[in-house]
């Protein structure tokens, strides 16, 4: 059975960020993920994890100015030095937090940038990051994101991500498979998972439409969870959804699995 971790960026957002660790543990989670740790002191975050006996499962590389709408800089030809500095910062935080997986957001392709140039930049950046993260004991992941929620996002299909993984040629580059994004862009979730399971160490979920909790939309999550169990998937599944009402009120779906 897969292990479920709480995404603290999305869940309990009525609470202050540092208070969400206690809420996740109280709800029965044993792991957490969130977009970025960098605005918080790493020792304070590590203390919260230890206090509540939580594993830090995943965070992202620095991704530019999120407040201004940037969603990653991995494919930005003019931001390579910034990307490289972000790799060092991510390693520093991941090491302090005991985090074994870091996701690289490709970003929105800059206006006027040729798609081939964006692809080559992304590949070179991943070739830079993958061995450095491996030396630190951290897996590097890339995540296709749907272009309805983030128009212009460069990496948006599983096949595109798998082709880039092949082009990078590293044994430390993997696919983060977000079931919600994949459902919007391509569907065929069960087959994609089964075909590429060895390259998928981490998944995320939300239902569609609405990006709310499982059971509110079209995705047959009981079937998919049983499918993951049959396949022997033992990685984490991040609960990265927008609660339809409150987080606690919407947790009924997960209680049988925790």
Q: Which positions are annotated as active-site residues?
A: 143, 240
In three-state secondary structure terms, 148 is coil
The C-alpha angle 52, 1, 232, rounded to 5 degrees, equals 130
The C-alpha angle 154, 155, 160, rounded to 5 degrees, equals 125
For the chain, state the CA radius of gyration. 17
Strand partners of residue 177: 203
Strand partners of residue 58: 33
Count Cβ atoms within 10 A of the Cβ of residue 151 and give its class: 0-12 exposed, 13-18 middle, 19 or more buried. Answer: exposed
Beta-carbon-side half-sphere exposure of residue 243 (alpha carbons within 13 Å) = 19
Residue 126 is given by DSSP the state H
- Dist. CA 101–CA 142, nearest whole Å: 11
Burial 207-228 (b: 16+ CB within 10 A, else e): bbeebbbbebbebebeebbebb
- Dist. CA 190–CA 197, nearest whole Å: 10
Torsions phi, psi for 243 (to 5 deg): -55, 135
């Amino acid at each position: 059975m897969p292990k479920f971790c709480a995404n603290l960026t999305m869940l309990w957002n009525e609470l202050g960020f540092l208070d969400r660790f206690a809420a996740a543990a109280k709800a029965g989670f044993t792991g957490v993920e969130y977009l970025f740790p960098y605005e918080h002191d790493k020792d304070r975050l590590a203390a919260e994890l230890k206090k509540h006996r939580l594993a830090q499962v995943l965070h992202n590389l620095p991704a530019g100015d999120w407040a201004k709408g940037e969603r990653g800089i991995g494919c930005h030809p003019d931001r390579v030095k910034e990307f490289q500095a972000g790799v060092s910062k991510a390693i520093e935080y991941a090491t302090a937090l005991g985090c074994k997986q870091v996701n690289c957001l490709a970003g929105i392709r800059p206006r006027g940038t040729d798609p081939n140039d964006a692809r080559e930049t992304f590949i070179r950046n991943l070739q830079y990051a993958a061995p450095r993260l491996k030396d630190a004991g951290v897996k590097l992941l890339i995540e296709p994101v749907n272009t309805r929620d983030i128009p212009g996002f460069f990496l948006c299909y599983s096949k595109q991500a798998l082709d880039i993984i092949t082009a990078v040629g590293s044994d430390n580059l993997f696919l983060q498979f977000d079931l919600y994004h994949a459902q919007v862009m391509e569907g065929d979730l069960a087959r994609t998972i089964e075909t590429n399971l060895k390259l998928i160490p981490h998944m995320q979920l939300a239902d569609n439409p609405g990006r709310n909790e499982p059971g509110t939309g079209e995705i047959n999550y009981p079937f998919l969870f049983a499918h993951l169990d049959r396949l022997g998937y033992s990685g984490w599944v991040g609960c990265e959804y927008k609660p339809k009402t409150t987080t606690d009120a919407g947790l009924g779906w997960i209680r049988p699995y925790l």
